[in-house]
Amino acid sequence: MLSPDIQEAARRSVLCWLATVDSVGQPNVSPKEIFAVLDVNHLVIANIASPTSVRNMVANPLVCVSFIDVWVQKGYKVVGRARNVRAQDPDFATWASPLLAQAGPRFPIHSVVVVEATAVEPIIAPSYRLYPDDTTEAAQVESALRTYGVRLAKPGA
């Protein structure tokens, strides 16, 4: 389900957004900066400071995770069932392994949100659909560079 293209898109994304719902239906969306695609069925997200997300997952394990490459303005939405694997759980090291290097000593990982994907959909900026003849990834990158007021570094710089 989480194909190589989806895995590469996740690697290029700086943040993912975890959407949960509490026991009375109140939604919550929270940015997560330490996450990875573990295998073709699972995303893992570090719980560094996410008590609301974890509490909501206990009440309702259905979640949605979105990640987007801000330069090309494409990404994916992954829907699935989540569970919280605590640091003291026997399988914590297995789930946490791709996250520990990202976190380093600066961010303590209290637990790992393990999302088993049940559906995946692409996310693309509206320009790709509304103006397909004029919209390319290169044009989207140029637009984003202008919007953010940045320039790409020269190779080797």
Domain with 68, as residue range(s), is 4-124
Q: Are 37 and 10 in contact (CB under 8 A)?
A: yes
- Please count the structural domains in the chain: 2
74 and 19 in a common domain: yes
pLDDT tens, position by position, 56-85 = 999 999 999 999 999 999 999 999 999 999
Report the share of the chain in percent with pLDDT over 70.
99
- Shared domain check, 70 and 132: no
Average pLDDT for residues 97-120, to the nearest whole number? 95
Q: Is the same domain home to 142 and 76? A: no
Note whether 71 and 132 are same-domain residues.
no
Side chain identity, residue 100: L
pTM: 0.90
